[in-house]
């Protein structure tokens, strides 16, 4: 099973959470580009389906699982001293 390789310096929960969201956005952009290639007949339907099954779906599931993991960790993190009164009304 593939895993996420975090770059040097991305070594705490908050940084990993941000990094995962960036990966998710990059994956969406890649998916859109592949979809455009399919729409424009630059890749075949078989290539498009193979990309979705063998690349996109795997990466998307891995990223989503990791995001959920870090979301749960950060929900319990009280180091930010955040308060609901910090919201601008």
> For 35-51, what is each residue's pLDDT tens digit?
999 999 999 999 999 99
The pLDDT confidence band at residue 89, using thresholds 50, 70 and 90, is low
Question: To 5 degrees, how large is the angle CA 76–CA 81–CA 86?
Answer: 115
Residue 26 or 80, more confident: 26
3-state secondary structure of 31: helix
- Beta carbons within 8 Å of 66's beta carbon, 6+ residues apart: 4, 16, 20
Residue 78 is classified by DSSP as -
pTM of the full structure? 0.84
Q: What is the phi/psi pair of residue 86, to 5°?
A: -75, -15
- The pLDDT value given to residue 77: 84
**Are 6 and 19 spatial neighbours (Cβ–Cβ below 8 Å)?**
yes
């Amino acid at each position: 099973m593939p895993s996420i390789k975090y770059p040097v310096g991305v070594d705490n929960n908050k940084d990993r959470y941000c990094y995962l969201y960036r990966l998710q956005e990059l994956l969406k952009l890649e998916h859109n580009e592949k979809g455009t290639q399919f729409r424009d007949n630059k890749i075949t339907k078989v290539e498009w389906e193979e990309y979705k099954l063998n690349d996109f779906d795997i990466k998307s599931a891995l990223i989503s699982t990791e995001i959920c993991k870090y979301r749960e960790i950060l929900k319990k993190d009280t180091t930010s001293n955040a308060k609901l009164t910090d919201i601008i009304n």
